[in-house]
Copies of this chain bind each other. A is one copy, B any other.
């Protein structure tokens, strides 16, 4: 592997000049710059990341902390990850993948060892032990998800409260008076998952505002669980005409179960989902849905991190993306007959 000294010799300049050509931190004459650049190309020079990190205390690597939990919906996670990597690359950075099983110590490890310049942390819970650690770490950090107390940290997420509200309003405008929210499995709520709880809040508030009945049913993913929950829903709420589904993995099964139970969508029952675009489109009856803009969030997270990194720009707290409901075949005006 050629070093910067090799390049310097080849271009007949000093190593520092090569460095300045690369970083652009001092002006270099057109002439030398080209000479250096062609030497770099000719020798196939790539700066040694370790040496660079040592000298500049910058790694050009950001950490992405993924949850390992099985109850997170994987495709969304993956969209996040991919968009973060892509956006980071666009800014000349790489991504170090961490899972959560090291806990807060894992964060300390990589930052103390100067392995990363910044962190992006996913699946943040309302009362997340990582948040205080991140806050005191002092490195640029962005949370995907909003904890109860974000401290000085930047958060980015879909506005789930508005999302819940948005679903209610859509159904209300179609004339539905009684709706039910099919949620994530119980443990997700007990754990204090912000997005799940906020969705419920929004749902409840909006229902109250409009004087509509509301009810929340946590629900598992399997066919049997969905079947059991829906049976209970119809037994306990025979008048229900609107279903809001905030439980991605159950989505696929849900329409199937409804069919079995003799409910036609949207004739007997309107369904609104909160899930990735693709899932909503591919359903047997395409679902009216608020898409989860995973890619946009990932991208924003990277932008925020880069902002802090480059210009120590203090991001203005949380960014909550406005939900955008797309109407498809699964929701329709209630039939008054």
Residues of A near any B CB (own CB < 8 A)? 1, 44, 46-54, 59, 61, 64, 66, 68, 74-75, 77-78, 81-82, 85-86, 89, 94-99, 101-102, 108-110, 112-115, 221-223, 252-253, 255-256, 259, 281-284
Contact = CB atoms under 8 A, between A and B. Distances in A.
Given A97-B81, A97-B95, A113 B283 contact: no
Contact of A222 (B222, B255, B282): B282
Nearest to A63: B94
Contacts of A82: 66, 68, 99
A95 B95 CA distance: 9
Contacts of A66: 82
User: How many copies of this chain?
Assistant: 2
A216 to B, nearest CB: 23
Contacts of A101: 86, 89
A interface majority secondary structure: helix
Given A96-B96, A97-B95, A50 B114 contact: yes
A52 B113 CA distance: 10
Contacts of A78: 74, 77-78
A52 B279 CA distance: 46
Given A50-B59, A96-B97, 15 more contacts: A1-B114, A48-B54, A49-B50, A49-B114, A50-B53, A50-B114, A78-B78, A89-B101, A89-B102, A94-B98, A97-B97, A221-B282, A223-B282, A255-B256, A256-B259
